[in-house]
Structure 1
């Protein structure tokens, strides 16, 4: 009987394949099962874009909040160049803040703070001078600063020079020199309520002639002489050379009062009151003599010219000065004519002895000083003998005649 075949069961070593479970051949498969899943392409980029968008949005929100805060806390300010006409006064010693307060109270700027902020941008604001300025209402602070720095904005400035008289004077060549009244009228001009406004020469002359001199502010030491003078000449010489401020919008009387107050202070500071007393003269007489000196001599010669005047007055001689003859004439020349010198009148010092009734021009500081301290000397005559205006002085008429001949030779006569 055939023996049944023996059936072999697969062993652990041979079952299923040639590889042995758990051997090194199975390691890659195990690692693949343990590795995490790989990210899909573009996922990190999308996250970066999202973060950037959030940052931009946050910056916009914060920026908007900042500007909203600034707009809520910024100083009030107008926009643009303004409207209408406003004249403001900058007082002597005003700080930038004080100027800002003036502008705010006048309706020029919306706030002092806005003006100060604009002023910080231009150091020239520190050089703004006292006086009147033509501005506009409701100006931006920056526009107000720019306008204050514009020379055209300055109004009310008046300069009187030595030798100028109250009324305009004409020369033979046709030129006209404006007098004090014309200069004051021009300085009073400004735009008010949309129109140019000035105090006219006629208004000034009427105020001078019709207002009580004491009310105008004529100093007490000049009141009697001024009251006795021709009303349209009574302020001659009392407005001395210098720079003045004329506030636009004031009446003729108010303008003259302000000018006389300033001028009187300058006159009295020169020592004219005490100096005249020391010389045995009145202050007004010294003022008249100062005006003659101003018109007759250049500065280096003024003390000698003053001495000639005092010597002639002391000797009872007529002054015989062409400047006094010229004073009331419409047309004035350096040398007067025989006809002019023969015409009678209180200002004709060839025909009338003594001083003229008023000064004949505005005397400067040097002329007043010369009248208060004339140079000692025996001179009774002088003539301009050099083309630069220098005079030659003489004690006798014979010497004077020789000096006149020299003046003719030099082309100065």
Structure 2
């Protein structure tokens, strides 16, 4: 009996110990869970946030280099969201928030973070105030267009444009392999496109954005690499050719063939290695404030004026710089022109189409067509 009593007490005591331990573990787990849940709940409910889609209207500018935190700070400053944390929490919950683009947005006052994220991702909320620069515009023309669209004085753009390196053009681009000195110019690097500049942007900031776009396209095309490897010329020479072809072509499909004419004359067996294009003359006239004129009204003296560094008659080689800002099509044409032995071309109709020739005899026939069309 005594032993049995002892065993019974031992068994019950052990059970009580196990029960006590289990209870302690359970309490610890419950406390931990309650703490975690309480933290999650506290985090969610302690972040200051508005509810709903907001009211009224307010414009907010998002810079190109903005982080989500930067955007949140801007939204708080504009009265859109109640706290940066509210916006960031909503952005974390929506993977698309990483795709919020730079630009100006029409938002509302006192929006929830979630509603603000949704509206920033809505294309309809973007304020469209783009400035379109067409292919083939000169830097001087670009300055005038930008000044009219933004209110920034033309002189500010001209001043900023004097230092292309400060605007993002690497010094290495101003090298030539044709024995001529490479003059530094912003011409050629102000890529034609539609831009949405933020309010208050300076002339330098706007031009830098255009240069940045040029090099983004250049990188996509592998322009510099391909002209070095396939044409064995410097990228700057190819950029000049692209600008000349852009100016001479009346229709896009002729750009590549005109580039080929340039290469055949400059680097082939053409006797004078001179281009004899008229567009360089008009570029110099624009630079110096003189009125431009059509080719058929240019005199021989004007074409061969030794005071005009951009003339292409009576001298070998290219112009000192590009003569405009070519678009992607012209870059492609100068980078990968069609194969052909053409050394002549002439515009032959009102639509701007050109006829190409290899021999003088062929060219004379094409010129007769151009005369009948009133082109020369």
TM-score range, shorter chain: 0.5 to 0.7
Per-residue CA deviations over 1:121-152 (Å, capped at 9, x if unaligned) read xxxxx9x983432769x84659x969x97789
SS at match of 1:88: strand
Among 281, 284, 292, the alignment partner of 2:236 is 284
Superposition TM-score, scaled by structure 1 size:
0.61
- Identify the residue that residue 306 of structure 1 maps to in structure 2: 259
Shift of 1:290: 0.7
- Identify the residue that residue 346 of structure 1 maps to in structure 2: 309
2:147–2:154 contact (8 Å) kept in structure 1: yes
Shift of 1:296: 1.3
Shift of 1:228: 5.2
Name the count of aligned residue pairs.
300
1:303–1:371 contact (8 Å) kept in structure 2: yes
Shift of 1:103: 5.5
Q: Quick one: distance in 1 between partners of 2:339 and 2:123?
A: 51
2:281–2:303 contact (8 Å) kept in structure 1: yes
2:280–2:323 contact (8 Å) kept in structure 1: yes
- Identify the residue that residue 105 of structure 1 maps to in structure 2: 76
Instruction: List alignment gaps of at least 5 residues for structure 1.
Output: 1-72, 117-125, 168-178, 190-197
Q: Quick one: distance in 2 between partners of 1:184 and 1:81?
A: 27
SS at match of 2:103: strand
Question: Are 1:75 and 2:48 matched, yes or no?
Answer: no
Question: Are 1:252 and 2:193 matched, yes or no?
Answer: no
Distance 1:397 1:184, change over 3 A: same
Per-residue CA deviations over 1:8-46 (Å, capped at 9, x if unaligned) read xxxxxxxxxxxxxxxxxxxxxxxxxxxxxxxxxxxxxxx
2:132–2:192 contact (8 Å) kept in structure 1: yes
Per-residue CA deviations over 1:166-185 (Å, capped at 9, x if unaligned) read 11xxxxxxxxxxx2122333
- Identify the residue that residue 190 of structure 2 maps to in structure 1: 239
SS at match of 1:386: coil
Shift of 1:353: 2.1
Instruction: List alignment gaps of at least 5 residues for structure 2.
Output: 1-48, 88-96
Question: Are 1:357 and 2:328 matched, yes or no?
Answer: no
1:184–1:246 contact (8 Å) kept in structure 2: no
1:81–1:140 contact (8 Å) kept in structure 2: no
Superposition TM-score, scaled by structure 2 size:
0.67
Distance 1:109 1:306, change over 3 A: same
Q: Quick one: distance in 1 between partners of 2:64 and 2:204?
A: 22
Question: Are 1:334 and 2:310 matched, yes or no?
Answer: no
Pairwise CA RMSD: 4.0
Among 269, 282, 288, the alignment partner of 2:220 is 269
Shift of 1:93: 12
2:175–2:236 contact (8 Å) kept in structure 1: no
Q: Quick one: distance in 1 between partners of 2:228 and 2:329?
A: 19
Whose radius of gyration is greater, 1 or 2? 1
